[in-house]
Amino acid sequence: MEKTPVCTERIGTDGCIIKSDRGHRRSKVPRDVEIDIEFLYKVVPQLAKVFRIVDKIGEGTFSSVYLGEAQMRDGRREMYALKHLIPTSHPTRIAAELQCLTVAGGKENVMGVTYCFRKDDHVVIVMPYMEHRAIVEIISSMSFEEVRLYIYHLLKALRHVHQFGIIHRDIKPNNFLYNRSSKMYALVDFGLAQGTADTQIELLKVVKHRAVCRLFSKLNLALHVCFLKDLTGLRRVPRPVFGERNLNSCTPAPSTTKQAAIKTESGKTDEPASRRYPSASRGPLPVRSQSSSQKPQRAVHQGLTCNCYQTDRVCNICLSRKQQVAPRAGTPGFRAPEVLTKCPSQGTAIDVWSAGVILLSLLSGRYPFFKASDDLIALTQIMTIRGSKETIQAAKTFGKAVVCSRELPRQDLRTLCETLRGRRPSPDDEVTPLPESDYKVEEDERGWDRVPDEAYDLLDRLLDLNPATRITAAQALQHPLFADL
């Protein structure tokens, strides 16, 4: 039987603690991580009897994840991910996350749970550790076939959890782990999950919307004007989308901007009054806000007729109405249109939209593709890709009115992705063949010169603006793109 490894420590010149185990390579642990590990041992002392925590491998708003090593009875050493939930997490929410992992986890690319430790208000969920790399590190070297398999397995995980009536609500690459060498996948982090009307997860029925329903803001702005990136004039050299990092090997060119004014049906936005935005090209528009020093407005009779509907201003009647509350959990850039417009009825289709955004990133080589400081800018960015008329029409289907100050054409998804990858010139450039380069040759070797139409057809259906007609995960798995799988 293998002996328990001996661990020695010393302080490095850079202030990090260097650990070396017999038979293992040395690893550096920063001082702050070492302090966090000691704190975790202190608040949950049971962990020390089972695990040797070697590193912190993740940190989010609601939890931190550590890497722990356990000595098995037969001498083997197994690695586990230890998720320490923040003490302020509601017990029902923690129990609901555990129930999602135990009921739906452990199969179909969904992470399972091994054990759970609790001491007072500190909870640690123990899960199998899967070595993986972040998408941002590998997206520039992924082949099309690799992208196809990645999306296929993500859709398998979504189909599985949706069958249990689980809405994950935070689908993004960081929550879908990918081991490139072993071709293993795992959907993780059900901390924001909600249940459908017929969910099989009993505790999700209890959670409801309490923990995730928030008001967009305490302030009411009369108008919100936001920037639009002009994708119709893309240059021959690929550039970042919406100011994001260019993951291809070409030098990004300066981007141009358009401006648009958007107002939702309630006329209320989530922007602080101190923030200023340039107005549309026709001239500045008045912006009214209610500061903390002003007296609250009197309630206006709800029977009064609104005189600002579908205009670029907000009347006093709209300002007096209560703000609509709807779930808006998730990560900016991956939220569906029905989430951004605060539609109160949201289902599993929001996870499918997020999967579509991931596929858009992978096909275009840009990650993240969307990044916005607030939900209205995010909606504007979606309009830039999917078209303003189409977005406005889709919003009507779920009871929302959206106004845009100028018409934005719908982009052809193949043209968009290939232009961003540098595979074709932009429409306003002279039609000349792109010069051969090492980058383009590498792209061809990875199959990016042979992307079938089915890939963009699936992308179009995943990014359907109307959740009622958006393809489901189960339907997407039957798409011709995956016929041989």
Catalytic positions, written as ranges: 170
10/13 Cα distance (integer angstroms): 10
Burial bucket for residue 291 (CB in 10 Å: 0-12, 13-18, 19+): exposed
**Residues 6 or more apart in contact with residue 93 via CB below 8 angstroms:** 191, 207, 211
Q: Please state whether 447 falls in left (phi above 0), alpha (psi between -120 and 50) or beta.
A: left
The annotation status of 19 as a binding-site residue, yes or no, is no
**Residues 6 or more apart in contact with residue 324 via CB below 8 angstroms:** 266, 268, 342, 344
Listing DSSP states for 98-114 in one string gives HHHHHHH-SSTTB----
Q: Residue 303 carries which DSSP code?
A: T
3-state secondary structure 154-196: HHHHHHHHHHCCEECCCCCHHHEEEECCCCEEEECCCCCCEEC
Taking the CB of residue 48, how many other CB atoms lie within 10 A of it?
12
Q: Which two tokens stand for residue 242?
A: 């919406």
Reduced to 3 states, what is the DSSP secondary structure of residue 150?
A: helix
Q: How many helices (H) and strands (E) does the chain have?
A: 14, 17
Listing DSSP states for 83-98 in one string gives EEE-TTS-HHHHHHHH
User: What does the radius of gyration of the chain's CA atoms come to, in whole angstroms?
Assistant: 25
386/73 Cα distance (integer angstroms): 56
176/168 Cα distance (integer angstroms): 11
110/153 Cα distance (integer angstroms): 10
Question: Do 80 and 127 contact (CB within 8 A), yes or no?
Answer: yes
The strand order across the sheet containing 257-263 reads 224-229, 257-263, 403-404
4/420 Cα distance (integer angstroms): 52
Give which of 336, 343, 388 is closest to 358, Cα–Cα. 336
Detail the residues annotated as belonging to a binding site for ATP: 83
